[in-house]
Amino acid sequence: MMFFAPQRRARTPAPDDASVDAEGAAARLLQRLVGGDLEALESLYRRESGRVYRYALALCGNAAWAADATQEAFVALATRPQGFDPARGQIGAYLAGVARHALAARWRELRREEPLVDIDAAAPADAGAPDMPASAAGAHHPELAASPEALLVRTQELQALWAALRALPMVFREAVVLVDLQERPYAEAAQIAGIELNTLRTRLHRARARLAALLGAGGSPDLPGTRP
């Protein structure tokens, strides 16, 4: 039985050729998995589990729920790899979508829309935080980029961001996590959320406006990776 353990994430590789190569490698691993090669599942798990877990954690704010949802996603892939259709998107998006459905089912069982666990208390560690571009650490304070003060500044900024994200409705929080923090393509983010592309754009616009107000920005929220 596979049990999820959060892993420290690696730096995101450069896009374009690297991402194409990565998807090709994922496709080959999937073909091996369909053929019954369980080592391929382990490789896919190492590649994709961290990002799926951080996405689930950002949605629910509960580390145990996020781990369970991540495990369910990989169990679904292991038992029915044919359920993934490469024509509909990338393997990471498929796994995140399964994790999302697992969380939704849990919420329905408890008859509540949002979890009660404090998301700040659940995700202070690196392994539990949403994906953040590596350049973000000193982006707004370059003079502190190599100093201990930079760590304090970044921690304060992340705490403020988590508090603001916690205050957003789940569907708005999801849009920000997928597009601005995890920097997924719009089409992939919409696929994971199970919505139309225009709906995603609308949610993202409204989420950014709410974050701007919550963070006291007076304009657009100062999020790393923010795209129009």
The residue extents of the domains of the chain are 17-110, 130-215
SS3 labels along 188-222? HHHHHHCCCHHHHHHHHHHHHHHHHHHHCCCCCCC
| Mean pLDDT of the region 24-46 | 84
pTM of the model: 0.64
d(CA 107, CA 114): 7
Instruction: Using the structure block, give the residue that is written with the tokens 């760590």.
Output: 151
CATH of domain 17-110: 1.10.1740.10
Task: Give residue-wise pLDDT tens across range 51-106.
Answer: 999 999 988 888 999 999 999 999 999 898 888 887 788 889 999 999 999 998 88
Write the class of the CATH domain 130-215. mainly alpha
pLDDT 10s digits, 141-189: 444 344 556 655 566 677 777 788 888 888 999 999 999 888 899 999 9
